[in-house]
Amino acid sequence: MIKLYFGPGACSFVPHVGLEAIKAATGEDFESQTVKLHKGEQHTPEYLALNPLGLVPVLVVDGKPLTQIVAICDYLDRRFPQAGLLPADPWQRAQAMSTFAWMNNTVHPTFTHIFRPTKFASTDDSQSDVRNMAVVMFREHLGRIQDMTAKAAPFLLGDKLSFVDAYAVVFLRWAGLGGIDPASLPTYKTYAERVAAHPAVAAAMAREGIKLDTWQPK
Ligand SMILES: N[C@@H](CCC(=O)N[C@@H](CS)C(=O)NCC(=O)O)C(=O)O
């Protein structure tokens, strides 16, 4: 049995979408458990036993925990290749992993500096500086993703939904929360609306109780 621990709207959305796509393609069902990050549920002894880093996602497979999005998604794709969540061709797969790794190790941590500047600086002024710099960097990363979405056909890797599409949706949602108007990224926004309409993405959004549009003008 497979079980996903996820935080609504968090990066755990990426494997969550994958599990929905796998269910649709293979019939393999999964269990899920919400971790309320704002309530600190990631720091309970029970959760830390699964992931000592106190982060979502965790995928538990037959009672054994697996952490880190890239590792979880690689595992899911190798176990359920029928879902087509990553390319089968070695070169195309490596190219997809290159984008996926960049999203996970660069774009994602940039947003962490916006959302939790207290992790990176100790005074109000320095935290505000960290946040402002990170907004500029995050906007640049989103511009790079928008360039990719301009070539999406209809998804980033071609005709099949993949993990990088799910990550792209996460980032556009975070952009709105970080004060970046998604209307300033029109091609990306149109692409994300298309991805959000995919049944696997819509099912994961419904379970998490989230919407694509998070932007609130001041
Ligand atoms: N590199 C990790 C990043 C995981 C991560 O940053 N998770 C965030 C949510 S997007 C989290 O659990 N944050 C909780 C906290 O910081 O307390 C992965 O790929 O799984």
Mean pLDDT computed over every residue of the chain: 97
Mutation pick for ligand 1 pocket among 51, 55, 174 (CB with most ligand atoms within 8 Å): 55
Domain presence at residue 32: yes
Ligand 1 atom at minimum distance from 112 CA:
6
Residue 21 lies in a domain: yes
| Ligand 1 within 6 A of CB of 65 | no
Domain of 121: which CATH number? 1.20.1050.10
Q: Is 104 in the pocket of ligand 1 (CB under 6 A)?
A: yes
Q: What is the pTM of this model?
A: 0.98
pLDDT (tens digit per residue) in 76-132: 999 999 999 999 999 999 999 999 999 999 999 999 999 999 999 999 999 999 999
Strand partners, 34: 6
Same domain, 132 and 187: yes
Does residue 218 form part of some domain? Answer: no
Unique residue bearing structure tokens 């959302």? 115
pLDDT surpassing 80 at residue 218: no
Residues 6 or more apart in contact with residue 204 via CB below 8 angstroms: 13, 16, 17, 19, 20, 166
Q: How far apart are CA 195 and CA 215, in angstroms?
A: 18
CATH code, domain with 70: 3.40.30.10
189 occurs within a structural domain: yes
Work out the average pLDDT over 159-187. 97
Is 64 in contact with 79 (CB distance < 8 Å)? no
Total structural domains within the chain: 2
Looking at the structure, tell me whether residues 190 and 123 fall in a common domain: yes
Q: Does 69 contact ligand 1 (Cβ within 6 A)? A: yes
Rounded Cα distance between 114 and 173, Å, is 13
The CA distance from 165 to 85, in Å, is: 10
> Within the chain, what is the greatest distance between any pair of CA atoms?
52
The verdict on 67 and 101 lying in the same domain is no
Q: Last residue of a domain, which of 40, 61, 83?
A: 83
CA distance 218 to 211: 19
DSSP 107: I
The boundaries of the domain holding residue 166 are: 90-198
Ligand 1 touching residue 8 (CB < 6 A):
no
* Helix ranges restricted to H, 85-185: 90-102, 108-115, 124-149, 163-177
Q: Confidence class of residue 217 from pLDDT cuts 50, 70 and 90?
A: confident
- Reported as a single tens digit per residue, the pLDDT across 21-52 is 999 999 999 999 999 999 999 999 999 999 99
Q: What is the pLDDT of residue 85?
A: 98
Residue by residue, DSSP assigns 5-67 as EE-TTSTTHHHHHHHHHHHHHH----EEEE--GGGTGGGSHHHHHH-TT--S-EEEETTEEEE
pLDDT band at 61 (very low <50, low <70, confident <90, very high): very high
